[in-house]
Amino acid sequence: MTCRSHPNEISIAKKPGFRLILVAKSQFVIVLIPYYKPSRASPRDSATTFAVLKPGACFIVSNATWQQKLIGQVNAFVLPKALGMLNTRISYYDKTVDPCGPEYDEHVIYVFWHEHIGVVLPTWGHTAATILCSQHRDGEWVNQFGAAMGLHIVRGSSSRGGSAAIRQLKKNSKFSSIVITPDGPRGPRREMALGPIYMASLLKMPIVPLGIGISNAHRLNTWDKFAIPKPTSRVRIIAGPKIRIQPKADRHVLEASRANTQQLMNTLCDHAQDWADSGQKMLDEHLITRKRLPRKVVFPPKPKPTKPKLALHTVANDETPNLRKAAG
């Protein structure tokens, strides 16, 4: 089957399997998108995908293999149940940051290190959250797992698809929180990029750092030393305070906020690790409760703070001498 290129089609990658269709605002179209499977014998073997695009929409064909889709579905079924069997506790600086709690009153930007994805995502599945994952090959695993967990997915990073991801995150911030691993997708380990700080300043959303500690964890031989809890492990999570970044901040303010937030994240991870290794109880610890909640939550706009009005008191002419006498 031959497919003609749409007049508004552009190429976003030289690798086969990725094609972006831009549709004019005044028309609905049905397009045939060839999805190429690279192979040694025939690199142009393709299967045709049908898609109905709305006016002004963008459609990107995922390059996920059937193995990635299958593993994503299996992980979404197994990991939440496995994490529920572990000794898992969480402590909050502010209970309003818990997306499953009744005190949750505004959307935030959660940041945690890349090595702890396997602990955080199963905890907050099927909630109003958007995951930012890269367009690299490794990001496809997180994409399939997060989608199977009922989370919103936005693909992009500083090296590829960054501007499109920012536009989509701006739309999703109206009905969901944002989840970012600031040292991903390639590291260095536990070094925060400037992206989350810039997003917090642009979207006027607070940042909530998460510190995770796992006792007796199995570490993979990867750049982030990916942590996998063992059956006897204790998992401890500390949700830090809300950090508000100055809107439209300049580069120096953003960099200072990045350094302070990175230091706080590492401090929270150290405290969580000590908490997990000690096995002691914390005064304000809670069991992690998983609830299937709406994927979109819209809060009413908060009233803008009003400046106090100055109370003016008019003094009659005949009162002025009496005031002078009282002052004297």
- What letter represents residue 102's amino acid? P
Q: Which of 11-15, 58-62, 263-267 has the lowest mean pLDDT?
A: 11-15
Average pLDDT over residues 286-315: 74
| Whether the bond into 209 is cis, omega within 30 of 0 | no
Single residue among 17, 38, 60 that ends a domain in this structure: 60
> What does the alpha-carbon distance between residue 51 and residue 36 come to, in Å, rounded to a whole number?
16
Do residue 47 and residue 128 come from a single domain? no
293 located within any domain: no
Single residue among 269, 287, 305 that ends a domain in this structure: 287
Do residue 122 and residue 261 come from a single domain? yes
CA dihedral 265, 199, 259, 268 (to 10 degrees): -10
Average pLDDT over residues 279-306: 84
What burial class does residue 62 get, using C-beta atoms within 10 Å of its C-beta: 0-12 exposed, 13-18 middle, 19+ buried? middle
> What does the alpha-carbon distance between residue 295 and residue 153 come to, in Å, rounded to a whole number?
12
Contact call for residues 52 and 30 (beta carbons, < 8 A): yes
Model pLDDT, residue 323: 43
Q: How far apart are the first and last CA of the chain?
A: 102
Average pLDDT over residues 149-155: 91
Q: Cα angle at 182 between 176 and 183, to 5 degrees?
A: 150
> What does the alpha-carbon distance between residue 39 and residue 104 come to, in Å, rounded to a whole number?
49
What's this model's pTM, rounded to 2 decimal places? 0.74
Domain hosting 16: range is 9-60
190 located within any domain: yes
pLDDT higher than threshold 60 for residue 2: no
Do residue 88 and residue 234 come from a single domain? yes
Do residue 112 and residue 40 come from a single domain? no
Do residue 74 and residue 56 come from a single domain? no
Do residue 47 and residue 77 come from a single domain? no
Do residue 144 and residue 186 come from a single domain? yes
Comparing 283 with 200, the larger pLDDT belongs to 200
Residues listed for the chain: 328
What burial class does residue 26 get, using C-beta atoms within 10 Å of its C-beta: 0-12 exposed, 13-18 middle, 19+ buried? exposed
328 located within any domain: no
Q: Cα angle at 25 between 160 and 143, to 5 degrees?
A: 35
Comparing 38 with 96, the larger pLDDT belongs to 96
Do residue 75 and residue 184 come from a single domain? yes
What would the two tokens of residue 328 be? 């004297």
Q: Average model confidence (pLDDT) for the chain?
A: 78
Pairing verdict, β 218-219 and 227-228? antiparallel
Write the DSSP symbol of residue 232: T
Average pLDDT over residues 227-247: 95
pLDDT higher than threshold 50 for residue 36: no
Model pLDDT, residue 96: 93
Do residue 212 and residue 268 come from a single domain? yes
Could you give the number of structural domains in the chain? 2
Average pLDDT over residues 52-73: 62
CB atoms closer than 10 angstroms to residue 230: 12
Residue with token string 């990073």: 157
Average pLDDT over residues 66-88: 88
327 located within any domain: no
Sorted by sequence, the CB contacts under 8 Å of residue 39 that are 6+ apart come out as 45
Write the DSSP symbol of residue 317: G
Model pLDDT, residue 268: 97
How does DSSP assign 77-146, residue by residue?
HHHHHHHHHSEEEEEES-GGG-TTSTT--S--EEE--GGGHHHHHHHTTTSSEEEEE-SSTTHHHHHHHH
Pairing verdict, β 29-36 and 109-111? unpaired
Do residue 83 and residue 50 come from a single domain? no
212 located within any domain: yes
> What does the alpha-carbon distance between residue 54 and residue 31 come to, in Å, rounded to a whole number?
11
Model pLDDT, residue 69: 86
55 located within any domain: yes
